[in-house]
Structure 1
């Protein structure tokens, strides 16, 4: 039986989500198939050889322990340690540098720039959203007018138009295979989610970002918004430790997802 070191911060307070409940639920299912050790991500480096697989889950924003996290990733690569997710993603694992890159490629993403001289690319919205490059959970996010924007310190920050969308939705992938989709009918309540009846076009939208990212193994969440014209635009590609909102799923869907995950973990 394989041993898993499951990394989580059981005391992290997330907006609208209860991280520890999701992790305890997952662990309760995995323990029937694996030996489970639970650890804090800020204490893991001394225990990298204690398990066959390290699962990096609801650990909170790594910006709070960035130096330690970078050391962890370095050791994982140096020692060729098996992790889930793998640390070869090009999206949120590396910060939000990918958003201007995808914008430049012309992919359907909320247009994002990292320099004021490119402001004309955002087509003169009434308001702008400014995000930190290594932000998470809306930490450091501001909504500014153009006048305020031009006076702001934009070091290590990204600029996007503040768009009036219909709702936000998320597509969840396991090892690049689509699993389920959820959405927030009330855009003012991001984490009050329900099942989303997706179309083939919706999945094609999400698939293009999964293929671009090329993550070797792991769980990825494709966050998007439905615009007023009916199109979808990428908000974020979470490829480090996406919250899964498993409590929203039916018991049958929960079991299906967990069983798929167990099969993947047994096969690596």
Structure 2
């Protein structure tokens, strides 16, 4: 049996979700096929060279273990470590700058800037969302008018994200393993983001996802594409989670869950 270092923070507290329950389930099924050791992300560099593969799961934001994460990213190259996900994606694993890149490319994303001098790139809205560029789980998020943003924001500050507030219909997430679709979930009540229900994508939805999958070019791993459907019925990217996406595995049907586990084991075995 191959050895996997399963990296997770079982004590990470996420609003509306119990990350540890999902990872305890995953470790219980993966140990059927692999030798498994659970590791906190702050300890990842103490064990990374002793395993055939390092699997990152619900570790929480990389900002919580920033120094360890930087060192680990360097060790991947210098020690030729095999990781899951691969670290060649362009989404959240590298921070939020990709939102500005997609905005500048006029791709289907909520228009985003990181400096007040670029405000002309945003569509008109009565209110805007402002949050730290390295934030997570809505930490530091505020709703402000354009006037308030100009009053409070330093033109030399590039460490914020500014987006128009969109009165969307609902949020929806699409889950992929190695670019193969697994399932989709949506939140019919937009006030309760993590009360998810199964969602059947349309051909237009798959086209939207394929545009983003082609852009991201992740070699292998799990991706979660978070989007919102605007008042015109169009999907706009909220987040390309390609580092350690929460999967809501315990909220889906046993059939879908079994399919996902089977796909994940197949992907890992193909790598190993």
- TM-score by length of structure 1 reads 0.97
Q: Deviations over 1:206-225 (max 9, x none)?
A: 11111100011110000000
Taking the aligned partners of 2:94 and 2:132, their CA distance within structure 1 comes to 13
Partner of 1:267: 270
Contact 1:225 1:233 in 2 (8 A): yes
Q: Aligned Cα RMSD in Å? A: 1.0
Separation in 2, partners of 1:105, 1:205: 15
How is 1:101-250 mapped onto 2 (pairs within 5 angstroms)?
Answer: 101-153=101-153, 154-250=157-253
Extract structure 1 runs of 4+ deviating beyond 6 A: none
Shift of 1:131: 2.3
C-alpha distance in 1, partners of 2:132/2:98?
13
Deviation readout 1:51-86 (Å, 9 max, x if unpaired): 101000100111122112111111112111000011
In the alignment, which residue of structure 1 is the partner of 2:60? Answer: 60
CA contact (8 A) 1:2 1:52 kept: yes
CA distance in 2, matches of 1:73, 1:134: 17
CA contact (8 A) 1:129 1:143 kept: yes
Distance (whole Å) between structure 1 residues aligned to residue 54 and residue 188 of structure 2? 35
Partner of 1:16: 16
Gaps (5+ residues) in structure 2?
none
Whether the 8 Å CA contact 1:95–1:135 is kept in 2: the answer is no
Give the distance between the partners of 1:176 and 1:229, measured in 2 at CA.
Answer: 28
Q: What is the alpha-carbon distance in structure 2 between the residues aligned to residue 71 and residue 38 of structure 1?
A: 19
SS of residue in 1 equivalent to 2:49: coil
Matched residue SS, 2:269? helix
Q: Residues of 1 paired with 2:140 and 2:266: CA distance?
A: 38
Would you say the 8 A contact 1:167–1:183 is kept in 2?
Answer: yes
Contact 1:175 1:218 (C-alpha < 8 Å) held by counterparts: yes
Q: Secondary structure at the match of 1:120?
A: helix
Tell me, in whole angstroms, the C-alpha distance in 2 between the residues paired with 1:123 and 1:237.
21
- Aligned equivalent of 2:86: 86
**What TM-score do you get using the length of structure 2 for normalisation?**
0.96
How far is 1:152 from its partner?
2.4
